[in-house]
């Protein structure tokens, strides 16, 4: 066992947040007068090799100042052992998320596109097209990046009884990894496809500093825009495809401020909801694996409402609401 001790930052504000930190086998919070003075993490080198993972739940129920830098340790301790072989972590992740439920091969039902060698590991495009047989509908879609500190990149709930849908976003890539899409159907069955994505080297995306001026980032946080996307695979004449671009740094808690050399506090997009006429179109639970300034492409059935209502929330308590004109159904 190797111990890592990090000082706690004051002002941290966490509300029972679950994180998957796969390379952490054990952590200890040592309180003094209900204030965290330091966090000690014991790291077992075999954890990374076995693909074991630990869910850390952090709470401020006693107004504890929790160390955001805890998440920075992931990059530090991972470097001590070198890269993990792509695919070695999936069985542990699968058990955590799905337990003993069987997952079937989704080839022929799900199309997954991700570049084999991405140009920018900070924003790797991932697109999914799912088409189920008649009578079956899509309940949810999960996107995984196996070897990232937070492997479950995004979890989507799909509104309406939809047998087909298109979905695309961008993710961070920490090292060579399989990217997976798991679709859950209305009858409880799970289907999966995967694609290997190479890592050309350089700085891991989750520890890369944000782009742009911090003042400008703060001023624009929560802004969003919606644009129509031409699609050759329209489900029906009433189907529309759109792209939602959100301004948010999606701070991982693992990146150093280039001026202060302190870790930038974690602040991630935690939830995004899209509604039409009060009815859910799409809901997403996010993570630090989503790229900075997240984008989301999706298609939806226009049921006559002329606006899409978007609610964005982050882990620091921020909340933003937008209403976008999509026009009447055609």
Closest CA to 276 of 323, 210, 206, 229: 323
Please report which confidence band the pLDDT of residue 261 belongs to, taking 50, 70 and 90 as the band edges: confident
CATH number of the domain at 90-325, please?
Answer: 2.60.40.2470
CA-to-CA distance for 224 and 201, rounded, in angstroms?
A: 32
Please report which confidence band the pLDDT of residue 202 belongs to, taking 50, 70 and 90 as the band edges: confident
Does residue 90 sit in helix, strand or coil? helix
- pLDDT for residue 223 is more than 50: yes
Does residue 149 sit in helix, strand or coil? coil
Average pLDDT over the chain, rounded to whole?
79
pLDDT for the residue 43: 36
- pLDDT for residue 80 is more than 80: no
Output the CA–CA distances (angstroms, integers) from residue 109 to 136, 164, 184, in the order listed.
Answer: 12, 9, 12
pLDDT for the residue 153: 98
pLDDT for the residue 201: 75
- pLDDT for residue 21 is more than 80: no
Q: Where are the domains positioned within the chain?
A: 2-81, 90-325
pLDDT for the residue 187: 95
The answer to whether the beta carbons of residues 220 and 232 sit under 8 Å apart is: no
Output the CA–CA distances (angstroms, integers) from residue 50 to 11, 55, 73, 123, 174, in the order listed.
Answer: 35, 16, 19, 28, 18
CA-to-CA distance for 27 and 16, rounded, in angstroms?
A: 16
* Contacts for 194 with CB less than 8 Å, ≥ 6 apart: 112, 178, 179, 180, 181
Q: Select, from the ranges 28-32, 79-83, 143-147, the one with the highest average predicted confidence (pLDDT).
A: 143-147
pTM: 0.77
CA-to-CA distance for 127 and 298, rounded, in angstroms?
A: 10
Query: In the chain, what is the straight-line distance between the N-terminal and C-terminal CA atoms, in Å?
Result: 63
């Amino acid at each position: 066992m190797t111990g890592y001790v990090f000082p706690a930052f004051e002002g941290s504000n966490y509300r029972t947040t679950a994180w998957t930190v796969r390379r952490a086998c054990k952590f200890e919070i040592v309180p003094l007068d209900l204030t965290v003075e330091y966090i000690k993490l014991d790291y077992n080198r075999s954890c990374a090799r076995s693909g074991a993972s630990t869910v850390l739940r952090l709470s401020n129920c006693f107004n504890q100042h929790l160390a955001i830098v805890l998440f920075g340790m992931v990059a530090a301790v991972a470097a001590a052992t070198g890269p993990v072989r792509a695919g070695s972590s999936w069985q542990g992740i699968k058990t955590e998320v799905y337990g003993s439920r069987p997952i079937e091969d989704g080839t022929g039902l799900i199309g997954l596109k991700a570049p084999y060698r991405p140009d920018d590991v900070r924003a790797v495009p991932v697109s999914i097209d799912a088409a189920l047989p008649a009578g079956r509908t899509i309940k949810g879609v999960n996107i995984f990046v196996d070897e990232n500190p937070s492997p479950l990149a995004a979890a989507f709930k799909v509104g309406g009884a939809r047998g087909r849908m298109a979905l695309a976003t961008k993710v961070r890539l920490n090292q060579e990894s399989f990217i997976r899409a798991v679709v859950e159907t209305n009858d409880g069955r799970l289907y999966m496809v995967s694609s290997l994505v190479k890592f050309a080297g350089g700085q891991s995306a989750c520890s890369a500093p944000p782009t742009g001026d911090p003042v400008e980032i703060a001023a624009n946080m929560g802004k969003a825009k919606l644009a129509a996307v031409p699609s050759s695979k329209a489900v029906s004449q009433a189907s529309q495809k759109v792209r939602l671009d959100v301004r948010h740094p999606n701070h991982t808690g693992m990146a150093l401020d280039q001026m202060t050399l302190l870790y930038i506090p974690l602040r991630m997009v935690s939830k995004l909801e899209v509604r039409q006429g009060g009815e859910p179109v799409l809901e997403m639970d996010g993570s630090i694996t989503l790229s900075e300034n997240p984008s989301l492409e999706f298609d939806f059935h226009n049921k006559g409402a002329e606006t899409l209502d978007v609610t964005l929330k982050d882990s620091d308590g921020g909340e933003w609401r937008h209403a976008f004109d999509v026009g009447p159904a055609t």
